[in-house]
């Protein structure tokens, strides 16, 4: 059974890892005898956050009732706010169908149990007790959750090209945590980050979400946010699945560690990695980020311009309004249990040698900026990346990452 701990940070945190070694051994032995589902990379990220409490109050993958409530109304059956469905889709051809019209797996009927397996090392991670199996409507999910069926949206493309139509819902019992081979010292669980904040007598924590390398503007933004709300800065970049084409997480983490050296004082900021599979869901993803950061112990979350936005659609328009995420997060702030700190994009003022929020700049003022697309172009061509934009050691790491990526693709 899942245990629950109450701490001063984030309320109840579900812990699905069995503490008793004897129970874990029993589960491990049972897991060997059960049908097995090898997880996809996205499901692996989801399971890790279910098991470690990052997705509290979830204790398993969505049942049909949970799925319908979240897709249609952003609500779990008990009324709790939840923005994006977290489900376990399976390949129907790998299981016998008891009744094709009902789409019920004969080996995965309600009450049966199945082992969830790490695709990277074949380790049994958890046992899921089946509550139900159900079919999903991809078009309805795309429209209700992401607001579009345009496959330039990465979550919509994933939905239509990489998702199976049958889901298996039910609670899980964890056997083994998801193992990682790199950056172990900063891959902390919600319980560990909460403990860190408590041990360091930190009662105000402002979290910063990112899937991109950090540069001078990001450093300035987080410092301003920390001062604005009198809080310690919690840099928590995503190292699960991000937008296709993003800079690889190993290169990015090297950059994040360098950026941490520029905070003054150094203990004003704290770095930990997040194994999230992003959906690039804009406003609803901002809600999910707020829930996750609350669970990790943050009291505040920075929500920026076009937060978790996937870019432009086939007509060249942004999928979401630039401040739509801020507005939705603010609307549900009281329910989320975390304070939203809205920020607009910072741009550089060369004549004053400083950064400023774009909304605060007088029309006609000279500004400089380098977009993500432009940055990637300069990394490829070797063109100069100015010091006002980033730090020399950060640029060196990004150039080396680009070189390795090019060698790998050739």
Catalytic residue annotation? 210-212
For 178-215, the DSSP string reads PP-SS-GGG---HHHHHHHHHHTT---EEEEEESS---
User: Among 35, 63, 19, 34, which residue's Cα sits nearest to residue 175?
Assistant: 19
Q: Is the dihedral of CA 37, 43, 44, 49 positive or negative?
A: negative
Beta strand segments in 274-391, E: 300-303, 339-342, 346-349, 354-357
The candidate with the shortest Cα–Cα distance to 298, out of 202, 181, 176, 186, is 202
CA 87, CA 58: separation in Å to the nearest integer?
11
The phi and psi torsions of 145 (rounded to 5 degrees) equal: -90, -45
Beta bridge partners, 269, equal 233
Rounded to whole angstroms, the Cα distance separating 255 from 272 reads 13
Q: Which residue has the tokens 């006609």?
A: 364
How many angstroms separate the CA atoms of 313 and 143, rounded? 14
Q: Burial code of 183-207, b = ≥16 C-beta within 10 A, e = fewer?
A: beebbbbbbebbebbeeeebeebbb
């Amino acid at each position: 059974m899942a245990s629950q701990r109450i701490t001063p940070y984030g309320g109840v945190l579900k812990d699905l890892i069995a503490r008793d070694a004897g129970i874990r051994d029993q589960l491990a032995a049972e897991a060997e005898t059960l049908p097995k589902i090898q997880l996809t990379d996205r499901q692996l990220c989801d399971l890790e956050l279910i098991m470690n409490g990052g997705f509290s109050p979830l204790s398993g993958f969505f049942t049909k009732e949970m799925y319908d409530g979240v897709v249609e109304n952003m609500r779990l059956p008990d009324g709790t706010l939840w923005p994006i469905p977290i489900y376990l889709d399976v390949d129907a051809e790998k299981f016998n169908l008891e009744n094709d019209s009902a789409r019920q797996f004969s080996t995965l009927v309600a009450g049966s149990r199945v082992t969830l397996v790490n695709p990277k090392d074949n380790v049994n991670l958890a046992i899921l007790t089946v509550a139900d199996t159900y079919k999903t409507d991809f078009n309805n999910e795309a429209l209700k959750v992401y607001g579009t069926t345009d496959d330039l949206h990465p979550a919509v493309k994933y939905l239509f090209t990489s998702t199976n139509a049958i889901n298996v819902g039910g609670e899980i019992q964890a056997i083994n945590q998801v193992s990682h081979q790199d950056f172990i010292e900063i891959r902390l669980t919600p319980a560990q980050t909460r403990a860190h904040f408590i041990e360091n007598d930190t009662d105000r924590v402002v979290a910063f979400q990112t899937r991109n390398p950090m540069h001078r503007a990001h450093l300035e933004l987080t410092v301003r946010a920390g001062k604005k709300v009198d809080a310690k800065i919690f840099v928590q970049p995503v190292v699960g699945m991000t937008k296709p084409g993003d800079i690889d997480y190993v290169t990015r983490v090297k950059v994040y560690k360098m950026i941490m050296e520029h905070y003054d004082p150094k203990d004003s900021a704290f770095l930990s990695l997040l194994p999230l599979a992003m959906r690039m869901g804009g406003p609803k993803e901002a809600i999910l980020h707020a829930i996750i950061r609350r669970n990790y112990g943050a009291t505040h979350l920075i929500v920026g311009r076009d937060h978790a936005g996937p870019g432009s659609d086939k007509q060249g328009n942004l999928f979401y309004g630039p401040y739509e995420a801020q507005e939705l997060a603010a609307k549900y702030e009281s329910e989320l249990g975390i304070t939203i700190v809205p920020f607009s994009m910072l741009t550089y003022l060369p004549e004053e040698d400083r950064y400023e929020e774009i909304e605060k700049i007088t029309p006609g003022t000279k500004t400089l900026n380098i977009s993500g697309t432009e940055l990637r172009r300069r990394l490829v061509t070797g063109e100069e990346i100015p010091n006002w934009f980033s730090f020399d050691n950060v640029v060196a790491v990004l150039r080396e990452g680009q070189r390795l990526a090019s060698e790998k693709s050739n």
